[in-house]
C-alpha cells in the first residue's frame, strides 16, 4: 500500500503546497481522500485501470476546489465519489454551469453516492462524523492487514479516537500553530494531534492541513513537526509529493 500526498495545506494553495488531497494505492484500487487543489494532479498518478474512489470529508472550498479539474481526467474506469449528506446537491451546484462543465458532459463517468451504513465496497472503509463547524467525516481504511486513518478539520472528539485506534498511519490535521486553540473554529494543533496518536496506539503520524495563513513558511511547518515529535516520536509533517509505503 502506497500513500501519496498530493496536497497538504489548508485554506488556500501556497508555494508550500496545494490544499488537501491524499491518494492511497492499494494495488487493486486508487482511494482518494478529499479534492483540494492537490486533486488536480491526480491524473499523474493513475497509471492502471483500477477503480478510483474519492471520499470527501466535507464541502469547505479547500477540500473540493480541485473538482474543477474533473474535465481534464480521462480515466476509462471513471470515478466513484462518496461523501456526507449533501454531496449530490453540491455536485449539481458546482459541477455545472456557470461554475464548471456539467457532470454528464465530463470526459469521465462520475458516479456519486452519499454515505450510509449499508455501503458495500471491495475494501473496508469506516466513516464517522468529526467535530467541526459543519458536517465533516473522518475515514478509516483497512486493506491487506493495514489501516490508514484520515481525519481532517476537527477538534478533539470521541469519534476521532475511534477512527485513529491502532492505525498503521494516521493522517491528521494540524491547522493551528503549536499551543494554539480556537473554540469557535474546531481544529487541532500539532501537540493535540500527537497526543491522539500516542493515546490511540498509532504506529505513524502524518500531519497535514497546515492553515496557509498560520504556516507561511517551511520553518513554521518544521516547528509543528518538532512539537509533535516531543509527544509522539513517529511524527512527520507531510509535504506535497511525499510517498509513504505502509
Residue 157 forms part of a structural domain: yes
Q: Which residues contact 187 (CB under 8 A, 6 or more apart)?
A: 153, 154, 155, 173, 175, 176, 211
pLDDT in tens, 158-215: 999 999 999 999 999 999 999 999 888 899 999 999 999 999 999 999 999 999 999 9
Residue 151 forms part of a structural domain: yes
- Tell me whether strands 30-33 and 21-25 are parallel, antiparallel or unpaired: antiparallel
Q: Is 153 left (phi over 0), alpha (psi -120 to 50) or beta?
A: left
d(CA 69, CA 26): 24
Residue 81 forms part of a structural domain: yes
Residue 216 forms part of a structural domain: yes
Distances (CA, A) of 163 to 44, 118, 148, 171: 29, 18, 9, 11
Residue 246 forms part of a structural domain: no
- Tell me whether strands 210-211 and 9-10 are parallel, antiparallel or unpaired: parallel
What's the number of domains the chain is made of? 1
Q: Cα 178 to chain center, whole Å?
A: 21
Q: Cα 133 to chain center, whole Å?
A: 17
Q: Is 179 left (phi over 0), alpha (psi -120 to 50) or beta?
A: left
pLDDT in tens, 35-46: 999 999 999 999
Which helix (H) or strand (E) segment is 220 a member of? helix 218-229
d(CA 2, CA 17): 20
The residues facing 52 across adjacent strands are: 30
Task: Return the DSSP state at 20.
Answer: P
Residuewise pLDDT in 10s, the chain (246 residues): 999 999 999 999 999 999 999 999 999 999 999 999 999 999 999 999 999 999 999 999 999 999 999 999 998 999 999 999 999 999 999 999 999 999 989 999 999 999 998 888 999 999 999 999 999 999 999 999 999 999 999 999 999 999 999 999 999 999 999 999 988 889 999 999 999 999 999 999 999 999 999 999 999 999 999 999 999 999 999 999 999 999
The predicted model scores a pTM of 0.97
pLDDT confidence of residue 182: 87
Residue 154's CATH number: 3.60.15.10
Q: Give me the domain span that covers residue 117.
A: 2-241
Residue 29 forms part of a structural domain: yes
Amino acid at each position: 500500500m502506497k500513500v501519496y500526498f498530493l496536497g497538504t495545506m489548508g485554506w488556500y494553495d501556497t508555494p508550500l503546497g496545494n490544499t488537501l488531497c491524499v491518494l492511497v494505492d492499494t494495488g487493486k484500487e486508487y482511494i482518494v481522500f478529499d479534492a483540494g487543489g492537490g486533486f488536480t494532479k491526480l491524473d499523474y498518478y493513475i497509471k492502471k485501470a483500477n477503480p478510483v474512489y474519492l471520499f470527501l470529508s466535507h464541502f469547505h472550498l479547500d477540500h473540493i476546489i480541485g473538482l474543477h479539474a474533473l474535465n481534464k481526467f480521462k480515466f476509462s474506469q471513471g470515478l466513484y465519489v462518496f461523501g456526507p449528506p449533501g454531496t449530490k446537491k453540491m455536485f449539481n451546484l458546482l459541477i455545472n454551469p456557470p461554475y464548471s462543465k456539467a457532470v454528464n458532459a465530463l470526459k469521465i463517468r462520475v458516479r456519486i453516492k452519499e454515505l450510509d451504513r449499508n455501503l458495500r465496497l471491495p475494501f473496508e472503509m469506516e466513516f464517522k462524523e468529526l467535530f467541526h463547524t459543519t458536517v465533516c467525516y473522518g475515514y478509516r481504511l483497512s486493506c491487506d492487514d493495514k489501516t490508514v486513518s484520515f481525519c481532517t478539520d476537527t477538534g478533539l472528539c470521541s469519534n476521532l479516537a475511534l477512527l485513529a485506534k491502532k492505525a498503521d498511519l494516521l493522517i491528521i490535521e494540524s491547522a493551528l500553530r503549536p499551543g494554539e486553540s480556537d473554540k469557535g473554529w474546531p481544529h487541532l494543533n500539532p501537540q493535540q494531534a500527537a497526543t491522539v496518536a500516542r493515546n490511540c496506539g498509532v504506529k505513524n503520524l502524518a500531519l497535514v492541513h497546515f492553515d496557509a495563513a498560520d504556516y507561511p513558511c517551511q520553518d513554521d511547518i518544521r516547528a509543528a513537526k518538532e512539537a509533535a515529535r516531543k509527544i509522539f516520536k513517529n511524527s512527520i509533517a507531510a509535504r506535497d509529493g511525499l510517498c509513504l509505503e505502509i
